[in-house]
């Protein structure tokens, strides 16, 4: 039980931490001036040179491997609903690390989405 909880924590912290690092990388890359192939390619080549992007990728890979290991221990109907907690953890990270302004409406929305994904994944 202890090792399941720990690996679940690695899964959630890895995926949200990775996404937060990538978000930070993309914000400092700056948005493409227009959504045309040329500007998108220029944006991507800038984005791939962002250090934060390469912090995010291994964290997301770590999270993916924890998911595979967890799936070998526990049924998928437990693992996916439990990983829906990452919506709440991700929003906390967005608020305290990325300094996003999470309004009460957004918080209620996130909690509903988290519960909804857990129910859908549980089948």
Partner 1 sequence: MGHELRIRIKTLVMILAMVVCANAGDLMLKRGMTQIGAVEISAPGLRHAFASTVTNGTIWIGIVFLVGFMVSYMTVLSWADYSYVMPAGAFGYALLTLLAVVFLHENVSPRRWVGVVLICIGVLLVGQTRPRTTEVMAREVAA
Q: Which residues contact 113 (CB under 8 A, 6 or more apart)?
A: 87
What phi-psi label fits residue 30: left (phi over 0), alpha (psi between -120 and 50 degrees) or beta? left
30 near partner 1 (CB under 8 A): yes
- Closest by alpha carbon to 9, among 80, 71, 109, 85? 85
Q: Mutual orientation of helices 86-96 and 104-122 as an angle, nearest 10°?
A: 160
Stretch that binds partner 1, among 6-14, 61-69, 70-78, 115-123 (CB under 8 A): 115-123
Q: What is the DSSP letter of 36?
A: S
42 near partner 1 (CB under 8 A): no
106 near partner 1 (CB under 8 A): yes
> Which pair of tokens denotes residue 66?
């924890």
Stretch that binds partner 1, among 1-9, 63-71, 110-118 (CB under 8 A): 110-118
Q: Which is nearer to partner 1, 6 or 54 (CB)?
A: 54
Instruction: Please report, as ranges, the residues that interact with partner 1 according to CB under 8 A.
Output: 19-20, 22-23, 26-32, 35, 40, 43-44, 46-47, 53, 87, 90-91, 93-95, 98-103, 105-106, 108-123
């Amino acid at each position: 039980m202890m090792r399941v909880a720990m690996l679940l924590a690695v899964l959630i912290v890895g995926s949200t931490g990775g996404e937060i690092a990538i978000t930070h990388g993309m914000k400092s890359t700056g948005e493409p001036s227009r959504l045309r192939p040329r500007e998108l390619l220029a944006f991507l080549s800038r984005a791939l040179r962002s250090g934060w992007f390469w912090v995010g990728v291994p964290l997301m890979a770590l999270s993916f491997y924890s998911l595979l290991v967890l799936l070998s221990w526990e049924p998928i109907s437990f693992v996916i609903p439990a990983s829906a907690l990452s919506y709440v953890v991700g929003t906390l990270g967005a608020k305290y690390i990325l300094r996003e302004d999470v309004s009460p409406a957004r918080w209620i929305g996130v909690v509903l989405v988290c519960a909804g994904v857990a129910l859908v994944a549980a089948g």
